[in-house]
């Protein structure tokens, strides 16, 4: 199991309150808002951290480049290079 899988398991086992706090910390490292694929709709709906939460619900429908390989969260957990475009293609774990 790699570091990302360990982190996802850790999240699964957290209480709802701890999970929310941890997800908010993770979201603060997410650089999707500066990506050309990100849009106003996603911003308005506060969609972030697609690598963990999965595809954009209704907002992102076209791939225009992906910044995930340069994201600090992705680099810390060794994701974002082999798989990315999480907002369109689903979570890291789903793409594996
Ligand atoms: S890897 Fe991509 S989706 Fe995940 S936190 Fe970084 S920028 Fe956001
Ligand atoms: S997941 Fe990748 S393509 Fe989608 S908005 Fe984030 S950085 Fe851009």
pLDDT of residue 61: 97
Extract the tokens encoding 89: 């293609």
Q: Is the CB of 86 under 6 A from ligand 1?
A: yes
By percentage, how much of the chain surpasses pLDDT 70?
100
In the structure, what pLDDT confidence band is assigned to residue 70 with cuts at 50, 70 and 90? Answer: very high
Per the CB < 8 A criterion, the answer to whether 83 and 39 are in contact is no
For residue 52, the ligand 1 atom closest to its alpha carbon is: 4
By percentage, how much of the chain surpasses pLDDT 90?
100
Extract the tokens encoding 67: 């910044």
Cα(44)–Cα(17) distance, rounded to whole angstroms?
Answer: 23
pLDDT of residue 56: 98
Q: What is the DSSP letter of 36?
A: T
Cα(67)–Cα(60) distance, rounded to whole angstroms?
Answer: 14
| Nearest CA-CA partner of 73 in 84, 65, 62, 63 | 84
Q: What integer is the mean pLDDT of 47-58?
A: 98
């Amino acid at each position: 199991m790699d570091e990302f899988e360990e982190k996802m398991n850790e999240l699964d086992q957290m209480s709802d309150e701890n999970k929310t706090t941890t997800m908010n910390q993770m979201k603060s490292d997410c650089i999707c808002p500066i990506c050309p694929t990100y849009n106003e709709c996603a911003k308005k709906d506060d969609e972030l951290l697609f690598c963990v939460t999965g595809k954009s619900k209704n907002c992102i429908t076209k791939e225009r480049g992906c910044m995930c390989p340069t994201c600090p969260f992705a680099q810390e957990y060794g994701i974002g290079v082999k798989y990315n475009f999480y907002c369109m293609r689903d979570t890291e774990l789903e793409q594996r």
